[in-house]
Structures are given as structure tokens and as C-alpha cells.
Amino acid sequence: MPTAREALLNAAFRAVGRRPWGTVRMVDVAAAAGVSRQTLYNEFGNKEGLARALVRRETEAYLRGVEQALAPGEEARDPAERLAAAAAWTVRVARGNALVRAALTGCWNDRLPAAAFGSRALPAQRHPIGAATVEQSGEPAPPGPLSQPGQPGQRGRSRPPGLSGQTDDWGLPGREMTGSEWGGEGAWAGGGARAGAPGLSDALPSPSELMRQVGDRCLAALCADRPALATAELAWACEAAARLAISYVSVPGAPDEAAALVRRVLAPRWAAGQQAGPARH
């Protein structure tokens, strides 16, 4: 049975799929969750806090799905094939979840809860492996949205199943997702605090930072069982795969098309016994 917090997030998720966020009332969310309005305010503070927690949950579930797609499975897969699987997951989940799609692209429409947090973004939170490979390469990392020094990120431990079930014509899943499916309370790094005055710890990542987190998680997953691959060239390949996938979110295409493009760009280099990297002159 979901906790009160999970039930409220599930109710908010259903509500935002049925009507514009600006017309969603806290009292209706509480009633749909079967809890009092005071419980809702105790958990999230206000409507802005509820919006941040909802988008945070959906985005972290997406990131854990990236990690699942990258898993080598029973038969070892080469890096290009695993990155292609992550690209297909990205396009598939963004096509079925408008909140994830908006978080990846920065395109928030008036149906979505964007105004509450759209201007606040986290500084770069690079995975230690990603930060180390950039440092070893001698090349500066792309500036984060606030151009602040990087901080170690965190990886989710549990992994959600692939999205399933019917979707409505707005692109949100048409069934209730349980708290365990979406990672439960506190899934986002720094996301366990109750709502109050918004600060850096509960801010949401900008699209560029979210893309960087995708690339860093790809790199960490590939290096977990093949440490020798932890190079700046592989870091480049992971970022390239992430950018290609997100381009298929911005300009919609089929998941298998995104996977095929990643495979076509990266596979020949591994087939030739090379690690993917930018052309050098």
C-alpha cells in the first residue's frame, strides 16, 4: 500500500494528465489520494513543492531506466549496443511521459507545472567517473547552467520496469504508477526534504544538466564491468549518444530509429578496435 506521500504524487500525476496544472486544486489532489488537505501541505508545503516533487520523481525514474537499459544482460553487449538501448529508452519514455519530455527539452507548455521552478537549476553534478575522465583529457568540461564547480552525483539503486499500459492523447501514462515503480520517496539525490522555501537542494536540473547526468550514468554503467574503458573518448561517446537521443525527443522519431543512429555512429569505431571519440586533426 502506498504511503500518503506516494498516494499524493500518484494523484497529482493523474490530475496533470487530465487538466492544465494551473487549474489543479490541492483539495482535489488530497481527496483523490484519500488523505486530508493538511497532510498534503505537511508533505509538500504548497503547490510549488508538490510540482517539484512530482517532476523530480518522474525524472529520477527515467534516469534509473537509463541504467537498466545499459545493463549488459546475460550475454555481454558491446558499448555501442548498450548506448543504443539507452537511446531507445529515452525516446520511448519521453514519448509516453510529458513531464520527462519537458524536463529533457525545456519545452514546458501551459498544461505543465513549469513556472514554479523553471528558472532554478542545479549546478553541475558530475558522476565521479565522468569528472575524472574530463580531467584526465586536459579538456575543460562544458560549463554547467550556473558555471559552478562540479559536485559528485548519485546513482539510483533500484530500477523501474519499462513503461507499459495505455496512454492518453496527451502522452501521459493512462494507469496509476505505484510508488515502488517510480522509486518511492527520496529517489532524487537531495530530494527527500519536505517542501519549504525552495533552495538548491530541491531545485530541478536544467535540460543541459539532465543531459549531462544521462551521459555520466552511461559512462559509469559501461565502466562498471570494463574499467579500462574509463577514458575521455568513452565519455565523449556517452555524451554523443545522450545528445542524439534527446534530439529525437525534440524532433520526434521512433525509438528504434534513435537506437539505429547511435549504433551507426558509434559501432564502427569499436568494430575497428577503437574507442569512440571526436575526430582529431
- Would you list the domain boundaries of the chain? 1-44, 55-159+190-271
Q: Taking residues 73-94, what's their average pLDDT? A: 88
Query: Residue 149 pLDDT more than 80?
Result: no
Q: Which three cell numbers mark 222?
A: 559501461
- Return d(Cα 180, Cα 183) in angstroms, integer: 5
Identify whether the C-beta of residue 232 lies closer than 8 Å to the C-beta of residue 49.
no
Query: Residue 176 pLDDT more than 90?
Result: no
Mean pLDDT lowest among 2-6, 122-126, 216-220: 122-126
Query: Residue 260 pLDDT more than 90?
Result: yes
Q: How far is CA 272 from CA 78, 247, 267, 275, 276, in A?
A: 13, 27, 9, 9, 10
Query: Residue 142 pLDDT more than 50?
Result: no
- Return d(Cα 40, Cα 55) in angstroms, integer: 16
Q: Per-residue confidence at 193, pLDDT binned at 50, 70, 90? A: very low
Mean pLDDT lowest among 65-69, 188-192, 272-276: 188-192
Q: How far is CA 83 from CA 58, 79, 115, 250, 266, in A?
A: 21, 6, 33, 19, 9
Q: Per-residue confidence at 229, pLDDT binned at 50, 70, 90? A: low
Looking at residue 170, what is its pLDDT? 34
The architecture of the domain spanning 1-44 is: Orthogonal Bundle (1.10)
194: which DSSP letter? P
